[in-house]
A and B are shown apart, each in its own frame.
Chain A
Amino acid sequence: MEPVDGVHSLLPDAGRGAPSPAAVRLAIVDSDSGFVRVLSNRVGAVGWRAEILTSPPPVEELSRLRQHAIVIDTSVLGSEAWPYLAQLCSSSAAQAVIVCTGPTSVAQRVRGLRLGVDDWITKPCHPEEVLARMEAALRARHAGTVTAEATEPVLAGELEIRADMFEAFVGGRAVGLTRREFELLQLVAGATGRVIPRERIYERVWGYAMAHGDRSVDVFVRKLRKKLEAASPGWKYLHTHFGVGYRFDAQEAGDVQEDDGDGAPPASSASLPPA
């Protein structure tokens, strides 16, 4: 089995109506160079294309860029913030408008959301959260155009994985997954039959590079495996590839030969690479 290198983003695929990860175009209107750099690196890592604008262009010009989403810091708008936001939200400049700015009052946030802003994030904030909120806003924008085909669950063995409910079911009964467990399952099930390295799983589910020695993936696979085996005892879904990672494949329990332990090498000082 070959390790999967290009596992797709957790953003719902084009079939659900939202743009596919590679096609997402984003404008970041912000003069905070540190934040812009971190956010653009993060969105770049998931294959999105970000246009950086340190000052607000006329809304008509933004419309011509045909962005999927716009992240804007209202501090760059000065006294024209409200008229600009109102114009932006009523235009077809983007499918989702996210305000990401410093601390504001409840009244300001409520006013912005009522103007049509899709989400309002207060700085300091984590780039992964901004990314997740953009994904959510894009999903919400496309909720009305979801096709029947796109909502079809992934079926494997007795398992039914439903992205629309962030849950897996066996015989109609929920397995009871946490969000992180679900994301892990969705990721590996999306690459059925292929081994995903632990580092890649961590990167996709946690959104960061995995520190050498971090056992998070192994712990969450163990938790997920326990829940799946309790819900569907006759089947094995998650298979360990020792020292590499994990593979999703629904197999009846009697057919499984391999060790189902952690994918991590044993904890010993010899396993540590030089600093």
Chain B
Amino acid sequence: MVRLSLVPKDREFFNLFDEAGTNILHAAQLLGRLMKQWPDAGGLGREILICEQEGDRITHDIIHRLNSTSVTPIDREDIHALASALDDIVDFTEEAADFMGLYAIEAPMEQALQLTGVLEDACRNIAQALARLKGFQELNHYFVEVNRLENEGDRITREALASLFRGGIDPMIVIKWKDIFERLEHAIDACEHVANILEGIVVKHT
């Protein structure tokens, strides 16, 4: 007897999300290297910008496919939300890298190195979850880990901001680093948002 699946066969969405996962991880790894090597970061900023453009391209491809497909393997609103949230991660990552040059940062802050490490770990978990998304199985531990990392990112950001507002710090340093810490925190928050959307998708398919 032939077994019929009710799930549409269009696997291209999964391939595009897998591609997006690889891209966010690559961008986060480049930002980690940029932060460690700063101010001798060479062309890493440019490479991150290319990732951001690649992210836009993938998002566009997903939305285009969504508009031209009548039946999708995941709810349409989930595909849309997931694509947008993944794009946010790489956008904030690129902004943080851009601000390092734009603000003529002389040297990195330890907390920025820690935050980029957290971002990289969160992106790695998301990339791995996206690579296994089509099975909708055994993904929960990735979401738990991303949530834990987001809490860790919040804690580091709060401490980093508090350290800027201790007396006697150059106001220019405060302005510049507050912006950069916030961009890094937004990138990590966007990872949590992605994990939440994925968790919802998995619940609907199990």
- Assembly CA distance A175 to B75 (angstroms): 65
Q: Which residues of A contact B168 (CB under 8 A)?
A: 208-209
- In the complex, whether A267 has a CB less than 8 A from a CB of chain B is yes
Contact partner of A274 among B111, B112, B152, B159, CB < 8 A?
B159
Q: Which residues of B contact A216 (CB under 8 A)?
A: 106-107
- Which of B38, B39, B160, B174 has the most chain A CB atoms closer than 10 A to its own CB? B160
Q: Which residues of B contact A274 (CB under 8 A)?
A: 159
CB distance from A235 to the nearest CB of B (A): 24
Q: Which residues of A contact B162 (CB under 8 A)?
A: 275
State whether B163 touches A213 (Cβ < 8 A). Answer: yes
Q: Which residues of A contact B114 (CB under 8 A)?
A: 267-269, 272
With contacts A208-B169, A209-B168, A268-B114 known, is A215 near B107, CB below 8 A? Answer: yes
CB distance from B44 to the nearest CB of A (A): 16
Q: Which residues of B contact A220 (CB under 8 A)?
A: 106-107
- In the complex, whether A257 has a CB less than 8 A from a CB of chain B is no
Residue of A nearest to B173 (CB): A211
Size of the A side of the interface (Cβ < 8 Å), in residues, is 23
- In the complex, whether B50 has a CB less than 8 A from a CB of chain A is no
- In the complex, whether B77 has a CB less than 8 A from a CB of chain A is no
- In the complex, whether A119 has a CB less than 8 A from a CB of chain B is no
- In the complex, whether A264 has a CB less than 8 A from a CB of chain B is yes
Residue of B nearest to A217 (CB): B107
Instruction: Map CB proximity to A onto B131-171 as digits: 1 under 8 Å, 0 otherwise.
Output: 00000000000000000000010011011101110111110
Instruction: List residues of B whose CB falls within 8 A of some A CB.
Output: 38-39, 106-114, 152, 155-156, 158-160, 162-164, 166-170, 173-174, 177
Instruction: List residues of A whose CB falls within 8 A of some B CB.
Output: 206-216, 218-220, 264, 267-269, 271-275
The 5 A-B pairs with the shortest beta carbon distances in the complex, nearest first, are A209-B168, A213-B110, A275-B162, A219-B107, A212-B163
